[in-house]
Amino acid sequence: MDLFAANNITKQFSNHKALDKVSISVPEKSIFGLLGPNGAGKTTLIRIINRIIAPDEGELYFMGRKLVPNDIERIGYLPEERGLYKKMNVGEQALYLAQLKGINRNDAVKRLKYWFEKFELLPWWNRKVEELSKGMQQKVQFIVTILHEPKLLIFDEPFSGFDPINVNLLKEEILELQKKGVTIIFSTHNMASVEELCDHIALINKSKKILDGNVWDIQKTYKTNSFELHYTDYDGNLSDFLPPKFEVTDLSTINEHFISKIQIPKDARLNDLIRELLPHITIQAIKEIIPSMNDIFIRTVTQQTSSSVSKHEESL
């Protein structure tokens, strides 16, 4: 079941269209990656989900019904542009933000103590925000975002400003939250973390959604039936004996190992390749090359850009 869905969302600003009939559906308990280059419209979409701005067209659904204003109390949002009042005390400020989310004061204190303890922030409770390091401020913001135990969490570039240790801490927390049944929308440029965390993605470019679905399904559609082969005992070119349809794209040497990349025809299988190779070389290792999300991202975005450029040229 989808926890959240957006249907044909369009948002027009005076000079440009920020979103053009974008639809996404976020399955319950998934981690959903919202990807796209800068200025694609991700933040606009997220702001629409948070009811910060209203769409011109389109509907939003939450937990199987239309999204209503009170639903923002079930949504947690960590914006990309985030900060805290610098002159205010850390604890007092966290309490204030928690109460704005509708938690009563006593509950808020209890939960904050728990999370501050967990993130080793308790000694800083009575300090001013400006005395905290940037990483600590980010932790406070993260705590405030999840404190009201939302059903849906939206993180916009959550890892910016964290050191690697804290990035790991945060990732663990995110996975922990997912286990507890929270659905997470996750907007980022960091493709490695997408592969690591996300089950589903949607790719937005130039106000339009150009790709979406399950991460594994997408990778399957983008793979080219290529394999990376480590071998010894043959220093010639593999294409000398391979059938012409088996294309050798790359050759390199590491520690007396040869490494080749071979693309085989769509109807062929790995077994066919191995059968061809066995009489000639000693195989050390072989694995399928699965396109990284990074590659897919760059490829689809540049494709769309070049096609729109050529379209533009045609229209001229």
Partner 1 sequence: MKKIILIIRREYLTRVRKRSFIVMTILGPLLMAAIVIVPIYIATLSNEVKTVSVIDETGFFYEKFKDSETIKFQYLVSDLSSAKSGFSKSGASALLYIPKTELALPSGAILYSKSQVNINVKGYIKTVMSRQLEELKLEAKLRDLQLNMDAKLTTDDILRSIKTSVEISTIKIGKEGTEEKSYPEVSMVLGMFGGILIYFFIFLFGSQVMRGVIEEKTSRIVEVIISSVKPFQLMMGKIIGVGLVGLTQFLLWVVLTTGIVTIATSTLSSKLSSKALPEQLIKNQNPGLASATTFDKAIISPKENAEGMNEVLDAINSIDFPVMIGSFLFFFLFGFLLYAALFAAIGSAVDSEADTQQFMLPITVPLVLSFVLAQYIIQEPQGTLAFWLSIIPLTSPVIMMIRIPFGVPYWHILLSMGFLILGFLGTTLFAAKIYRTGILMYGKKVSYKELWKWLKYKN
**Span of 81-89, 117-125, 224-232, 248-256 interacting with partner 1 by CB under 8 A:** 81-89
Alpha carbon 242 to chain centroid, angstroms: 40
Q: In this complex, which beta carbon is closest to partner 1, that of residue 77 or of residue 115?
A: 77
- Give the pairing type, strands 208-214 and 226-232: unpaired
Residue 128 DSSP label: B
Could you give the CA distance from residue 190 to residue 160 in angstroms, rounded to a whole number?
A: 10
Least distance to partner 1, CB of residue 44, Å: 10
Which residue from 88, 109, 167, 286 is in contact with partner 1, where contact means CB under 8 A? 88
200 contributes a contact to partner 1 by CB under 8 A: no
Tokens of 106: 């006593």
277 contributes a contact to partner 1 by CB under 8 A: no
Least distance to partner 1, CB of residue 13, Å: 8
- Give the pairing type, strands 2-12 and 17-27: antiparallel
Residue 63, classified by CB atoms within 10 Å of its CB into exposed (0-12), middle (13-18) or buried (19+), is: middle
Cα–Cα nearest to 227, from 211, 242, 212: 242
Which residue from 96, 125, 234, 241 is in contact with partner 1, where contact means CB under 8 A? 96
**Span of 77-85, 117-125, 241-249, 281-289 interacting with partner 1 by CB under 8 A:** 77-85
Least distance to partner 1, CB of residue 246, Å: 53
Interface characters, 231-270, with partner 1 (x: CB under 8 A): ----------------------------------------
Buried b (16+ CB within 10 A) or exposed e, 165-186: ebbebbbebbeebbeeebbbbb
The residues that touch partner 1, with contacts defined as CB under 8 A, are 13-14, 47, 50, 52-54, 56, 72-73, 75, 77-79, 81-88, 96-97, 99-102, 141, 144
